Amino acid sequence: MRLSVEHRTHYRYAPSARYVTQSLKLTPSRFDGQKIIEWSIRAEGCVINSEFIDGYGDTVSTLTASGPVDEVEIVVQGWIETTDLTGLLRGHKEKASPLVFLRSTDMTRSSAAIRKLAKGVARKGEGKTPLEQAHLMAEAVSDAVEYAPGTTHAHTTAADALAAGQGVCQDHTHILLSVARHLGVPARYVSGYLFADSSGIAHEAAHAWAELYVRDIGWIGFDASNRCCPTDYYIRLGSGLDARDASPIRGVHSGGADENLDVTVVVAQSQQ
C-alpha cells in the first residue's frame, strides 16, 4: 500500500525562547515492511542536521533554533510503500540487545494489578508456544482496558491506566510492556502512524503499539488498542522503553515562560 503523510507540529513560546533544541525521530524505519518513496522534514528558521542511526536502529536528527524564537513549526511530508508482514519486523538493523527492553521505567512500572494480570496470562499460556503466549498478553490488555479517548493524559502510567480500566493507545502499550517484562519477555514502545484500524475505520493518525521479542522469531508488533498485529496500514517511526523514550519529538528550550503545542497528522492512501 502506498501511503501519504502530512504531520505538522507547531510550538509557540511566550515570551520568546532564547534557544530551542529538539531530537527528532520522524523518519520511517527501514525494514522489509516499509520503503520510503519520498520524505522530508523541515522547519522554517531552524537548522536540522546531525542525522544518525541510534542503537535501536532508528533514524535520529537534531533541530536547533537561536532566539528570539516565537514559534517553531516542524513539517513532515512524504510517501511510503508498506507491506503487510503480519507484525514481523523483518530486515530491521539494530545494535541494542533485546535484553535492553526488559528494563522498567516510571511509565511502565508494574503494580499489584499488573502482576495479577500477568499471572493470569501465564496460567492461561501454559503449554503454548511463545508466539501464542505473546498474543494472550495483548488480548488480556485489550480485555482489561477500554479504548476511551480523552480519559488519560501524556503522564498517565501503566498502573494508573489499568486501575482506571480505560485509556488510549499509549496506555494499552505501556500496560502490555509492563506485563511482558514481568513475564521475562523483552518489550518496547513503538511510535508511528496509522491509516485506519483493522476494520478499515478511520483512526487517530498518530499511533503507538508494542513490539515483543518472541523467541526463535524476533520482534513482532502487537496493537492492543485495535486487537491486531500491525499491517500495511501502519507506518513505523521509532521505538523506545516507553512513550517518552520513543517520542517522535523531544526537546528543551531556554527562556519563554509558556510553550503551546498544536499537532495535526493526516495519513491517506496515495494513488499508485
CB of 98 closer than 8 Å to CB of 213: yes
Average pLDDT over residues 78-101: 97
Average pLDDT over residues 236-255: 95
Please say whether the structural domain 2-81+249-269 has been given the CATH code 2.60.40.2250: yes
More confident residue, 7 or 67: 7
Q: What is the pLDDT of residues 133-150, one digit of tens each?
A: 999 999 999 999 999 988
CB of 163 closer than 8 Å to CB of 99: no
**Is residue 271 over pLDDT 70?**
no
Look at residue 7 in the predicted model and tell me its pLDDT: 96
Q: What is the pLDDT of residues 100-131, one digit of tens each?
A: 999 999 999 999 999 999 999 999 999 999 99
Evaluated on CA atoms 95, 101, 103, 108, the torsion sign reads positive
Phi, psi of 168 (to 5 degrees): -120, -170
User: 166-172 long-range contacts, Cβ below 8 Å, gap at least 24?
Assistant: 168/225, 169/204, 169/207, 169/208, 169/209, 169/223, 169/225, 170/208, 170/243, 171/145, 172/141, 172/142, 172/145, 172/147, 172/223, 172/224, 172/225
Look at residue 199 in the predicted model and tell me its pLDDT: 60
CB of 249 closer than 8 Å to CB of 20: no
CATH number for the 85-246 domain, one of 3.30.2130.10, 3.10.310.10, 3.10.620.30, 3.40.50.720? Answer: 3.10.620.30
Look at residue 245 in the predicted model and tell me its pLDDT: 97
CB of 79 closer than 8 Å to CB of 37: yes
What number of residues does the chain have? 272
Spans of all domains in the chain: 2-81+249-269, 85-246
**Is residue 203 over pLDDT 70?**
no
What is the number of other CB atoms lying within 10 angstroms of the CB of residue 90?
13
Reference 186, options 60, 113, 89; nearest CA is 89
Look at residue 157 in the predicted model and tell me its pLDDT: 98
Mean pLDDT of the chain: 94
Question: E strands along 92-248, which residues?
Answer: 146-147, 166-167, 187-194, 206-214, 218-222, 234-240
CB of 38 closer than 8 Å to CB of 102: no
**Is residue 61 over pLDDT 90?**
yes
